[in-house]
Amino acid sequence: MTAALRKEADAAVASGTSAIHVDGVAQVFRRGDAETRAIERIDLSIAAGEFISVVGPSGCGKSTLMRIISGLLMPSQGQVLINGRPVKGPYTDLGIVFQQPVLLDWRSILDNVLLQVELRSQNPAEYAERGKALLEAVGLGDFHDRYPYELSGGMQQRAAICRALIHDPPILLMDEPFGALDALTREQMRVDLEELWLSTRKTVIFITHSIDEAVLLSDRVVVMSPRPGKVERVIDIDLARPRGLEARRSPRFTQIVEEITGIFLSRGVLRRGRSALAGTIPRR
């Protein structure tokens, strides 16, 4: 571990705040004689209460990095520290939201939210009021006794976020949580998530393919390269909060989006369509 990361980790422990430190993490998957290098050496420090987005092309190791941070996967090299302590197995003091809400059809929305508590061998009755308050905060106060099939995809994902927050974890990991939603629902979910984060100040790591989404939500954006994934650049997002829908009209928003787009253009992840196709499509 570098001296700088050790100093930050010690400070986090001393102050009692949560902080995540990714120290020289790499991951190699092996199957028989085949070897896939998912991510190369990654060093990253995340402050308590910070909203970080990780953006990069498919297959660059974004989800692998999240699994390593959560302790669901042990890295081939390096380590993750939370509050200065190495993560050596599944880390339970966090919430995880996946791309699909994964709600149980036979349980009401409130009971789906309380499932997290049951799995932790705690009394769900003691968390029922908190569950209802969370559902109210995300606009589902009138739907706590409904079943998943009665809710839209966006409403189900809101319930999944409540489930991840029911035990009040200091850290929230979100892996493409809006990826399966339509454009309008996704935009509203983004606005709602920022409002929720501003009221709770959880430490959030948000994985996305959307450059716009990353810029609009984050304090910093981690831009990753194609596989094997490496940190190309970490960009500070100096847009005023709350950002809501208005931030898209900011010249600074456009500037940051173009900066990140330029990185992907330079690495061949994106290409300029018109110049790439010029002369290749016959005219009628």
Predicted local confidence at residue 4, as pLDDT: 54
Q: How many CA atoms lie within 13 A of 267 on its CB side?
A: 21
Q: What are the phi and psi torsion angles at 226 (to 5°)? A: -60, 165
Under the banding of pLDDT at 50, 70 and 90, the label for residue 32 is confident
Contact status, residue 50 vs residue 44, Cβ threshold 8 Å: no
Which of 31-35, 58-62, 200-204, 220-224 shows the lowest mean pLDDT across its residues? 31-35
Q: Are residues 20 and 94 in contact, defined by beta-carbon separation less than 8 angstroms?
A: no
Q: pLDDT band at 252, cuts 50/70/90?
A: very high
pLDDT above 60 (res 8):
no
Closest CA to 196 of 95, 90, 122: 95
More confident: 84 or 251: 251
Judged against a pLDDT cut of 80, whether residue 13 lies above it is answered with no
Local structure of residue 225 (DSSP, 8 states): P
pLDDT-based confidence at 5, cuts 50/70/90? very low
pLDDT value at position 279? 54
The pLDDT > 70 percentage for the chain reads 90
Confidence at 56, pLDDT banded by 50, 70, 90 = very high
Beta strand 171-175 with 94-97: parallel, antiparallel or unpaired? parallel
pLDDT above 90 covers a percentage of the chain that reads 60
**In this predicted structure, what is the pLDDT of residue 274?**
67
For residue 275, the model assigns a pLDDT of: 56
What residue type is 274 in one-letter code?
R
Going from the C-alpha of 281 to that of each of 161, 268, 272, 276, 284, the distances in angstroms are 46, 21, 15, 11, 9
The confidence score (pLDDT) of residue 12 equals 53
Angle between helix 153-165 and 109-119 (nearest 10): 30
Please check the confidence at residue 132 and state whether its pLDDT lies above 80: yes
